[in-house]
Amino acid sequence: MKARIHITLKTGVLDPQGKAIGHALEGLGFEGVSEVRQGKVIDLDLAETDEARAREQVRAMCERLLANTVIENYAIDLSQ
Amino acid sequence: MKSAVVVFPASNCDRDAAVALQRATGKAPRMLWHAETDVPDDLDLIVLPGGFSFGDYLRCGAMAAHSPIMRDIVRRARAGTPVLGICNGFQILCETGLLPGVLMRNASLRFVCKPVALRVEETQSLFTRRFKRGEEIKIPVAHGDGNYFADEETLDRIEGEGRVALRYAPGANPNGAARDIAGILSENRRILGLMPHPERAADAELGLTDGSKMFASILEALP
């Protein structure tokens, strides 16, 4: 299976990089962007073929390494 | 006192820490490569040095926190072996969960490298006992990710337990850290993580010497 993990900053955690990107967009003349939040995407190729087991495996990876849950949320998308 | 400095790939303050320890204790620390699995049994102090371990990939300190040697270090730290984490070492300690919170990107998005004024908030620890409470000292910082963050409940708790060892002096916060926090202690007060570099302020010929008091404190507590 393939897994795509979206890691985003929790609400309330300041995101200076997102702010800087917002300012740059404004400087380029793009209007109406009220907030920018930056995150990251991690793609995994998994040997596991069972969706439930794959989700559990990736969840454990996120908890132990891929995300820091003090400041980050993660969401897992699985596909064959 | 027997000490050791852990060397990760891209540690860059390991030798400075070793020189400062040798000068304070008269004994050269053991240098432990991160891929080793066991820490010597007779150590009184483990230092996690500054640097950019594993290129700061994923998050600062995240990869190093899972280096083979860290399993034994976490076990020993939980059992009471003193650990000093400087800069990247502080980030690693937060990533292992030995210290609460996390070091985020500086609010300015700039790398800051300069001496900063700090206030010693707690002297009830083996790292700070030679300082006076409220004493203002000057120690250099050099980091891009020193913006200490934890949720309000955690911040209230560590303040209430007297675990904020060092704070940036009013107006001197170089990174946006919550409540001007520059260094915190573990619950048992035997682990200190701090962003400033005491090992860079331990030689009069390099200008600043306030950091040497931290090494003197450690030696006094762990003769």
Our CA-based measurement puts residue B197 at a distance from the nearest CA of chain A, in whole angstroms, of: 25
B158's CB contacts (< 8 A; 6+ apart) are: B100, B150, B164, B184
Nearest to A65 among B62, B104, B149 (CB): B62
Q: What is the pLDDT of residues A2-30, one digit of tens each?
A: 999 999 999 989 898 999 999 999 999 99
The pLDDT > 70 percentage for chain B reads: 100
| Distance between CA atoms of residues A34 and A22, nearest Å | 8
- Listed by start position, the domains of chain A span 2-79
At B138, phi and psi to the nearest 5? -125, 125
Residue A13 and residue B59: Cβ atoms within 8 Å?
no
Residue B101 and residue A14: Cβ atoms within 8 Å?
no
Closest CA to B83 of B113, B45, B111, B30: B45
Mean of the per-residue pLDDT values for chain B?
A: 97
Residue A70 and residue B101: Cβ atoms within 8 Å?
yes
Q: What is the pLDDT of residues A43-64, one digit of tens each?
A: 999 999 999 999 999 999 999 9
**Which residues of B participate in catalysis according to the annotation?**
87, 197, 199
Q: What pLDDT score does B195 carry?
A: 98
Say which amino acid occupies B204: A
Sign of CA dihedral B195, B174, B153, A61: negative
Q: Is B223 exposed, middle or buried (0-12, 13-18, 19+ CB in 10 A)?
A: exposed
* Residue numbers in A near B105 (CB within 8 A): 16-17
Is residue B30 within 8 A of residue B4, CB to CB? The reply is yes
Residue A16 and residue B101: Cβ atoms within 8 Å?
no
The pLDDT > 90 percentage for chain B reads: 99
Q: Which helix (H) or strand (E) holds B103?
A: strand B102-104
Q: What is the pLDDT of residues B41-78, one digit of tens each?
A: 999 999 999 999 999 999 999 999 999 999 999 999 99
Name the B residues in 106-125 with CB < 8 Å from any A CB. Answer: 106-109
Residue A70 and residue B104: Cβ atoms within 8 Å?
no
Q: What pLDDT score does B206 carry?
A: 87
Domain A2-79 has CATH 3.30.390.10: no
Q: What is the pLDDT of residues B111-137, one digit of tens each?
A: 999 999 999 999 999 999 999 999 999
| Distance between CA atoms of residues B136 and A54, nearest Å | 53
Range of the domain at B45: 3-221
Q: Percentage helix, strand, coil, to 5, in chain A? A: 35, 30, 40
The domain spanning residue B207 has which CATH number? 3.40.50.880
| Distance between CA atoms of residues A39 and A29, nearest Å | 23
Total count of domains within chain B: 1
Treating both helix axes as pointing N-terminal to C-terminal, what angle do B88-96 and B68-78 enclose, rounded to 10 degrees?
A: 80
So what's the ipTM on this one?
A: 0.88
Whether the predicted pLDDT of B223 surpasses 90: no
Q: What is the pLDDT of residues B88-102, one digit of tens each?
A: 999 999 999 999 999
| Distance between CA atoms of residues B181 and B118, nearest Å | 10
Our CA-based measurement puts residue B209 at a distance from the nearest CA of chain A, in whole angstroms, of: 34
Whether the predicted pLDDT of B201 surpasses 90: yes
Q: What pLDDT score does A19 carry?
A: 92
Whether the predicted pLDDT of A37 surpasses 90: yes
| Distance between CA atoms of residues A58 and A70, nearest Å | 18
